[in-house]
Amino acid sequence: MVSIRLPAAAAALFVISLLTHSASASYPRAQNVTWKSTNFKTFLTWEPKPSDYSYTVDFSAIGRNQQNNPHCIRSTATVCDLSASLVDLNACYMADVLSTPLLGETTDLTEFPNTASPRFCPYKDTEIGRPDFKLQVSEDKKKTTLYVSDPLTAIFKDGHQQTIRDIFSDQLQYKVTYRRNKSTGKKVSISKSNVIELTDLDRGESYCFNVQAYIPSRDTDKQLGEMSQTQCSNDDSQSIFEVYSIGVIAAAIFLILLLIGFIIAITVVCWNRRKKALQKEKEEVPLNRV
């Protein structure tokens, strides 16, 4: 019988190689690979959180060569910020999330478990965030004007941060939804301008407004952006009970009564002191004459 003896160092390397190969083969694939993008701030996300391995992200515009983001190579994060990498906003992209060894570790595998992302087209798919706007009612109460601010994006050009108007140009419109305050009936107005004038409102009534970006050239489920916060105009005909809550009114009444009571108390004290002073003065008059 022939026995084979390996040097201790060689045996150790052989065991490490087996362990490395076994570990590499057991890397789990990424799951739930999803694009999340608002105003062209674009992330690729997935699961699960790795323990003894890492992830590497490869991406490419469809029909072009694959690329890497240096921050998403052998990383233990489950998110990759690709905002600055997707430079052609009109292209469509695909990404692969590879399960790879930890940084610094080696393996004999030439291919790693990977999961492909859905297709993502920034110009058509990024969500549009809520816009801000200012509300102004004319002095004659006949016209209400909304001044809408275009949301900023994650895109920079020549050192300047771009707005959604810079990118979508005349494709961008705004949808205004408005209603009379404390009413459920709604009206809608579409405007291509950031300055929106509404003249069909009842004079002196309070109205509430919401604004959202509207891009009709997109697919139906991507046409509308996030709705703004609600703003309401003042109502000249509102009673004090409509303007202020019962608690505020009660507190104001209490403070007024407290102030009146304080004034009465001070007046009574001053009057009593004055009365006593006069009485004392009268009592002392005969003694002074003697």
DSSP of 3-40: -----HHHHHHHHHHHHHHHHHHTPPPPEEEEEEEETT
CA dist list (Å): 277 to 265, 273, 283: 18, 6, 10
pLDDT of residue 11: 47
What is the side-by-side order of every strand in the sheet holding 31-38?
Answer: 31-38, 41-47, 79-81
Q: 3-class SS at 44?
A: strand
Please list the rounded mean pLDDT of every run of 10 residues in the chain (290 residues): 47 44 66 98 97 95 93 96 96 96 83 94 98 92 93 95 97 96 90 94 90 97 96 68 69 89 88 78 58
pLDDT of residue 142: 83
pLDDT of residue 242: 52
- Tell whether omega for the bond before 286 is within 30 degrees of 0, i.e. cis: no
Token reading at 169: 């140009």
Token reading at 155: 């895109």
Give the helix ranges, DSSP H, for 35-179: 122-125, 164-168
Contact indicator for 173, 197 with CB cutoff of 8 Å: no
pLDDT of residue 108: 75
Please return the burial class of 136, using the count of CB atoms within 10 Å of its CB with bins 0-12, 13-18 and 19+. exposed
What is the side-by-side order of every strand in the sheet holding 173-180?
Answer: 187-191, 173-180, 207-214, 231-232
DSSP string, 172-231: -EEEEEEEETT----EEEEESSSEEEE--SPTT--EEEEEEEE-TTS-GGGSB-PPPPPE
Q: 3-class SS at 280?
A: helix
Which domains can be identified in the chain, with CATH numbers? 10-125 (2.60.40.10), 132-243 (2.60.40.10)
The one-letter amino acid at 148: V
Whether this model's pTM surpasses 0.85: no
